[in-house]
Structure 1
């Protein structure tokens, strides 16, 4: 029977989209077929949250099945046929969805201009009829602590009296200074878990794009990234420039008459200097600066939005203060912030256990990525990113910070990093930024590097120049314990990234090999491929070492290791130097690690396809079920992983380096933002263990 979770509230304005998004994240971590159903909508079609869930979690669900009825139609049915008739129709629509999915997330009614009496009771009855467990959400915006506690207890009582199976309560948008006290009280007062989420300014803040649409504005300057910035504050400019500069706040939107070119240029110059970075400029009265001013503005702060509206400052202010940020498919950064907030303050492990959702036998790429971030978050580690001025790295840092995955250190010219982050609308608060060229650590690291490389004739003077390189500096931070791991390579070669690690971090044991694996996330499982990036032609001992390391890496990330030592021959059917090398490596692994499940030599099809395995190696416990595939050389491994990635649509996560004392990982120079996020998370997880 389909297990369903019904997220509902008691009134409008509770911000429950944060909870709905967080619950969806948990469900998709467990199963790969999650449906979404909103019983009632204001228009005859799915709303913006459905669109966000569908886009973010790559749902194949037909949008037409995502809702039951429109509110107006529902009100008419209830008036004509009564509540029983309304509920009957909604239950029928729900079960049409439930039949197609393992789990259904139900999004309760929004309590906004619905023309339905006793909406709370309707949600409770629908949850019972759907067989769904309930998570009631109570909004606490603007309320004092005693009122919040009373409202939460009353909400629990209301849903409990109506017979609902209450999984947990969520109190949302609590004043940050009251959160800890309210949370402690409600944990004692309620018979079910209660998660207390503080009000988050970045979620309530509208983006510049949302403001532009709401006010019917015209974009004079700005790119997509600039328009996606959150307007955390509004500053109304009428004073002289020196006074205005003192009033600007980080993330504010400057609102000023369009004829005040001095304020526009001054504010953008302040943004360019990062003192402070602003969201943009909103010009009123339908006045626009001269083209020469706009040209100067575009050069001062490229990408920063300048928007013009027809209304004056006073009516514009009234509209601005009534706006609130909305989660939608167009605001992916808000979604990251919302998930980070939910995961930080809700006990997601306990909630998932209470939902009793059995994990699918299949492991999808999304499930693997969810687990990866959760593992990284569990034990906090610091990762240094030497390429701190690279846009993709900054965007990845933004995601990692919003999701609260790990601590970060960015290397590079501080002013350049701050300016680029400001231009991208990225808040680097709490992130360590270090310039290797000027930081006081440079002399200490020069002495350390000279000590390590004295046998090569490296002096302190020479080392002083070497350690100014960001990859050497980052590696020395890891060596000194100032960071737990390093990720580089988006603009550097593999050699430039890992050579410092060979010289400074070194291997787990003198005889260890440094190799790599890729996690190949297929549609229904995750395989581990090694070595596809480091050792061109490993000998039998190196191949055995790669296999043992790959098995350990697989186990660390939740993949049960069953090792296939790949060759063009299976079992005893072939001979030759290449087959003999694989056969010898297999023997070495069996001798050194008899507890490992390993088969070799074996062909790829016999390793992964049960029907082929049944013919070629019917008695093998690995054939047809292999999860760790070791290639005989770099040429075969690199080409195979790329072929599978492109032809099968697999998500390739890696390369993940193995064999170093501390984790240093290399990126492809074509790495996407999500690739960088995943690699940083992997590095943080590696740093949680003893060695890499």
Structure 2
């Protein structure tokens, strides 16, 4: 039987599922093959017969845990004296869930004051599975003495705090406000739900239960943004009608403003994430909210109470604001009743809200002592490069690199958010090009607090000093000072000059600009590495169990054999640089010597050239995609290939094939892709998709910082 952690809550309201899934994420980030099992379903009122933890593990983590037993069945087996049979069934479910995992995370049952048998079931399950026990508790309103006693009592059920089977506790909701404030509540602009800062050291001082035998394995701080529901969740809960659905599934309710005051006295509450609740006949509030939306303030929505719909003339005035994605809803209840309902809304993460669950899991994972937990789990053997492990690797390496990255689209909203995140998380020192007042206004409208360390450089104030150096770099092309000054009006060109002069370590652009607009200045001013014949690109494709490298899917339309060999070598080196063992497959429509034609001959020739240039790299081709990726196909099509069936780097023969394949895999299999990352330049310049999310920009900045560190090395 595999190693197992059994998570047992000390009571209700501990956030057991969030902690369980966050622990899975933490282990996955370390490359440990981890599985999930919820042996007995505990379905709460309003969940429609669905066991949330199992379904969330399936939808969010792509796992395939066994279907749990029903609680009523488990209870009947206990009362009938069939405990041993029940435990045998639970072990069978555990083994079905575990498959080839190195570690299994088992979620226990939440005890209830009226159902003591739930605690008994937890004890019996942990014993039957021979699992190491981790208690999950919440600080909440307990005094230190109360929490100490609560933890000791919970541990005593499994053998006590000195038992080698009881590892310790994960403490959740540290620094949380009183329970009645742990929801989205009415606000007058004061941040009453802000988390209180409490350090790990302070927790250990206050809680004497923690020592060398009973460990504090993690302290998850309360974060009100993690309980923020989508506007659509609020709409479903209140059963409202939409006047305009807008971006209700994307926007989140961070605060609620109840508008009983005059408009000037409530304007300060119109901030990002605010749900404005007002009687339907307050046209002044409606128009003020619409003006805020037109000024790029992403309100969570407008909820009109009292079953009073604005007139068509007023709605027509609001049309442009509604097109920004502002949700507008209508309820028959009055404002007071609506507010009461909102205060009692369940803040658990809905199963279909994967974006929020990802944030929760990442927050929990970051708060855990993951390396210590992996050590305690006694996991042995090679760890895989899973998608969470790869993302974790990127952030860690970028943090170590401490590079200065310039972002020429400095007043673009997603870029501003990404810069704030990168600075706060220590991923990079970000430099935003743009007028300070514009950048700060965008940040304010997005509800982003820019750290003081984020640099903002006004292009108009520095442009002149780059004219001379640019003329010197491009004098062989006949560039004059007036021509250079005109070209430097383009912030990408200006940022590239900063990179050329070593004032920054890397550049990321493309949220607004085209790929050509990003690459052209780099080719003119940065140029290629001495050993590179061209600039190419790779995407990192984050499949469920492995990260693949795809090249070239973004730059070269139809490379010849020599260029294709160079792309293969660059892609292999990129794989090595980012912790992926390179097994390079040269993709074609034919495998081995079975096919003929100019296209397959090009791939065959490129394979030979790449092998000659870099005998240290494992390269084979031509290979069809299925022969490269699937072991069973490889055994029949290319049984002697050292790459077939286990390729990690896929080099496509042309841009048409590469771009089509990466998008087909990305969209059809719901795979996250990071890139394109440019290869072959002397200094790192990277392009974004114009549809890039904030997260995409963050990871591209991390990639760029790591490339810069590798250049130094």
Q: Give the TM-score category using the shorter length.
A: 0.7 to 0.9
Instruction: State the Cα deviation string for residues 633-676 of structure 1 (Å, max 9, x = none).
Output: 66776677678879999876544321223322335667788876
Query: More displaced, 1-10 or 485-494?
Result: 485-494
Say whether 1:292 aligns with 2:313. yes
Aligned to 1:17: 17
Give the 5 Å matches for 1:137-536: 137-143=136-142, 148=147, 151-152=150-151, 155-156=154-155, 158-161=157-160, 165-175=165-175, 176-183=196-203, 185=205, 189=211, 191=213, 192-223=215-246, 225-248=247-270, 250-273=272-295, 277-300=298-321, 302-357=324-379, 368-378=386-396, 379-380=398-399, 427-430=447-450, 440-445=461-466, 448-476=469-497, 478-479=499-500, 484-489=505-510, 492-509=513-530, 513-519=534-540, 527-535=548-556
SS in structure 2 at match of 1:351: helix
Say whether 1:53 aligns with 2:57. yes
Aligned to 2:130: 131
- In structure 1, C-alpha distance between the alignment counterparts of 2:624 and 2:283, rounded to whole Å: 71
Query: Please, what TM-score do these two structures have when normalized by structure 1?
Result: 0.79
Q: Specify whether residues 691 and 502 from structure 1 end up closer, same or farther in structure 2 by C-alpha distance, changes over 3 A only.
A: farther
- In structure 2, C-alpha distance between the alignment counterparts of 1:436 and 1:532, rounded to whole Å: 33
1:572 CA drift (Å) = 14
- In structure 2, C-alpha distance between the alignment counterparts of 1:252 and 1:637, rounded to whole Å: 43
For structure 1, which runs of at least 5 residues remain unmatched after alignment? none
Say whether 1:36 aligns with 2:45. no
- Say if 2:136 and 2:170, in contact at 8 Å, map to a contact too: yes
SS in structure 2 at match of 1:690: helix
Query: Please, what TM-score do these two structures have when normalized by structure 2?
Result: 0.77
Instruction: State the Cα deviation string for residues 402-443 of structure 1 (Å, max 9, x = none).
Output: 9997676677799998999999xx654347999988664444
Say whether 1:561 aligns with 2:582. yes
1:483 CA drift (Å) = 6.0
Q: State which of 99, 109, 115 in structure 1 corresponds to 2:96.
A: 99
- In structure 2, C-alpha distance between the alignment counterparts of 1:155 and 1:257, rounded to whole Å: 49
- Say if 1:565 and 1:586, in contact at 8 Å, map to a contact too: no
1:139 CA drift (Å) = 0.6
- In structure 2, C-alpha distance between the alignment counterparts of 1:614 and 1:333, rounded to whole Å: 39
SS in structure 2 at match of 1:40: coil
For structure 2, which runs of at least 5 residues remain unmatched after alignment? 176-195
- Say if 2:152 and 2:160, in contact at 8 Å, map to a contact too: no
1:596 CA drift (Å) = 3.5
- In structure 2, C-alpha distance between the alignment counterparts of 1:611 and 1:109, rounded to whole Å: 41
Instruction: State the Cα deviation string for residues 373-411 of structure 1 (Å, max 9, x = none).
Output: 101221326665656788987998999899997676677
SS in structure 1 at match of 2:105: strand
Aligned to 2:181: none
- Say if 2:10 and 2:151, in contact at 8 Å, map to a contact too: no
SS in structure 2 at match of 1:39: coil
- Say if 1:337 and 1:403, in contact at 8 Å, map to a contact too: no
- In structure 2, C-alpha distance between the alignment counterparts of 1:100 and 1:390, rounded to whole Å: 45
- In structure 1, C-alpha distance between the alignment counterparts of 2:708 and 2:514, rounded to whole Å: 23
Aligned to 2:186: none
- In structure 2, C-alpha distance between the alignment counterparts of 1:273 and 1:640, rounded to whole Å: 40
- In structure 1, C-alpha distance between the alignment counterparts of 2:148 and 2:498, rounded to whole Å: 47
Query: More displaced, 387-396 or 25-34?
Result: 387-396
1:199 CA drift (Å) = 0.6
